[in-house]
Amino acid sequence: MLQRVGTNDDDDLRRRDSRPHDIRPRVDADAPPADLDAFLAGIGARAFRFAELGLRHRDDALDAVQDAMTRMLRYRHRPAAEWTPLFWSVLRSRIVDSQRRRMMRLRWLVAEPAAETIDWADAGEDPARHHAGRDAWARIAAALQTLPRRQREAFTLRVLEELDGATTARAMGCSEGAVKTHLSRAREALQKQLEDLR
């Protein structure tokens, strides 16, 4: 049997009491948010980038995200595990609706101003800036804009948002096989366009 040599239980207690205590509750990183407000606050910046890539217009993207968040209030009673695919599905539908409205207004007849650089809404660090820098992210965003809508959605939800296949399929309203096909085609197209970033 092992015994402690040279320590006293009183000394051990004093050492334990002299350390600062962390009274904050431990939060599991994978745990769902406590309420819908926390969920929407955490997903807002990523949703804006997703909408901006799809709509290519900052104000339309802000409107789409705000509308999707407002519509999520109807689903406050649903379990937190359902919020992520539900939100992306609502946002995707809102983006498609905006694109259809834009086409119906015949916006193509009006000369559009030159493409402006993307001004990201969040000032904090995000994985894209941390990983490859702002210039590389701008090139990736430009390459994503050239993809067909379904391929762009599959790539953004699966790779950038790191949703699993089933959640992505529910958000996109298609099968997991279709998500895999769209994702494969998107990766192939992006690989050709971004060959020099490797």
**Tens digit of each residue's pLDDT (9 = 90 or more) over 135-177:** 777 788 888 889 998 999 899 888 888 888 898 998 889 999 9
How many H helices and E strands in the chain? 8, 0
DSSP class of residue 129 equals H
- The answer on pLDDT for 6 being more than 90 is no
DSSP class of residue 160 equals I
Domain with CATH 1.10.10.10 in the chain: 131-198
- pLDDT for the residue 115: 56
- pLDDT for the residue 37: 87
- The answer on pLDDT for 178 being more than 50 is yes
* Of 153, 163, 152, 137, residue with least CA distance to 189: 152
Max intra-chain CA distance, the chain: 88
Mean pLDDT on 39-43:
90
- pLDDT for the residue 130: 56
Q: Quickly state the pLDDT bin for 194 (edges 50, 70, 90).
A: confident
- pLDDT for the residue 136: 75
Structural fold of domain 34-110: Rna Polymerase Sigma Factor; Chain: A (1.10.1740)
Q: Which tokens in the block code for residue 128?
A: 């894209």
- pLDDT for the residue 127: 53
- The answer on pLDDT for 16 being more than 70 is no
Q: Quickly state the pLDDT bin for 125 (edges 50, 70, 90).
A: low
Domain with CATH 1.10.1740 in the chain: 34-110
Judge whether 92 and 153 are in contact, CB under 8 Å: yes
CATH number, span 131-198: 1.10.10.10
Amino acid letter for position 93: S
> What is the rounded CA–CA span in Å between residue 197 and residue 145?
17
* More confident of the two residues 159 and 121: 159
Which of 22-26, 96-100, 183-187 is the least confident region?
22-26
Q: Quickly state the pLDDT bin for 62 (edges 50, 70, 90).
A: very high
